[in-house]
Amino acid sequence: MLAAGPLSAQSLQQVSLTHIDFGPGPNQIGLERGAGEHWKPLFFAVDGKGLIHIPDFYKQRIAVFDKQGRLKADIPCAAGISPRMNFFALAPNGCYITFNDGTLYTISAQGKLKWQYAFGAGVIPQRIFPADTALFIILPPYIDADGRAILFDYRNARPMGRFGMQHKGKGLALVQNTAGNPHTLSLKDMRAISKNAHKYKTDSDAVLMYITTNGTSVWKQKHDAAETILVFSAAGKQVYRGTIYYPDGVSGNGFWTWVSEDLTIYKNYFFDKYMQIAAYRFTGK
């Protein structure tokens, strides 16, 4: 269990804990490497029903578990996508998004590869945001010193437009989709990302994790034994703040995901022979 931390009216409370074993079996994830070691998936996603989607690409599948750790679906996925990826997410339209070896992939809900786009060997985006209508790819400073974002339509692999994160003046340029129509919802997402990223980039060590379509943003601050989660409104006002303490003997090197409808956030923790996925919710909501 997690160590007890200071509580407040807006604390994060653990609401579920899922145990999934490592191993070669269908109800396990990863593969045994020998001498008690395992190749294990690092990333995961959670849908609106609370089902946990794990890219178990070592077995060429996406494994779906319920919160009790029971396998609910086994989705075969395209061969050739490396299990050692840099990103994995479940987009609002039901597609899976992953990034590996400088290439962005979109995978259908049935596990079929829809398209891929190669950025180049060694490229790892600073952030990937699967919004309702499009993907925003934030390039790292060593590639683009202006911190620009590239917008991708879910339907094809062609970049639709490019935004300057530090743009000042009349706002962001209008981006047209392949049919020549403006992506207004995506522009709304991008304005909120740009506004918050600019505001907190220099005066806080918080890292942007997620942003909803109404502009609510979720940030994290990492400490030695805990992580603080901050939630800001679209206007930049802090509305929630809570601290999550790591389990005894486990570092904070796991990954986060979330369900935006109720701002439930999830983190995975790696033990020797299994993974735990903990769900947290703000008690003051």
pLDDT of 187 above 50: no
**Tokens 């609106």, residue located:** 48
Q: Which two tokens stand for residue 264?
A: 């439930």
- The region that residue 34 occupies, defined by phi over 0 for left and psi between -120 and 50 for alpha, beta otherwise, is left
For residue 27, which of 267, 278, 274 has the smallest C-alpha distance? 274
Contact by Cβ (8 Å): 236, 221: no
Contact by Cβ (8 Å): 100, 120: no
Contact by Cβ (8 Å): 182, 174: yes
Contact by Cβ (8 Å): 6, 12: no
The span from the CA of 277 to the CA of 256, in Å, is 9
The span from the CA of 50 to the CA of 67, in Å, is 7
Domain ranges of the chain: 12-282
Quick: pLDDT tens for 133-165.
Answer: 677 777 766 665 555 566 676 776 666 655 544
Residue type, 121: A
pLDDT of 1 above 70: no
> Confidence band (pLDDT; 50, 70, 90) for 65?
very high
Which 8-state DSSP code applies to residue 262? T
Q: Which CATH architecture has domain 12-282?
A: 6 Propeller (2.120)
Burial readout 222-252 (b: 16 or more C-beta within 10 A, e: otherwise): eeeeebebbbbebeeeeebbbbbbbeeeeeb
Residue type, 42: L
Task: Name the more confident of 252 and 197.
Answer: 252
What mean pLDDT is predicted for residues 94-100?
A: 91
pTM metric for this prediction: 0.81
pLDDT of 167 above 90: no
Q: Which two tokens stand for residue 252?
A: 């904070």
Which 8-state DSSP code applies to residue 57? G
Q: Which two tokens stand for residue 22?
A: 């490592």
Exposed / middle / buried, residue 40 (Cβ in 10 Å: 0-12, 13-18, 19+): buried
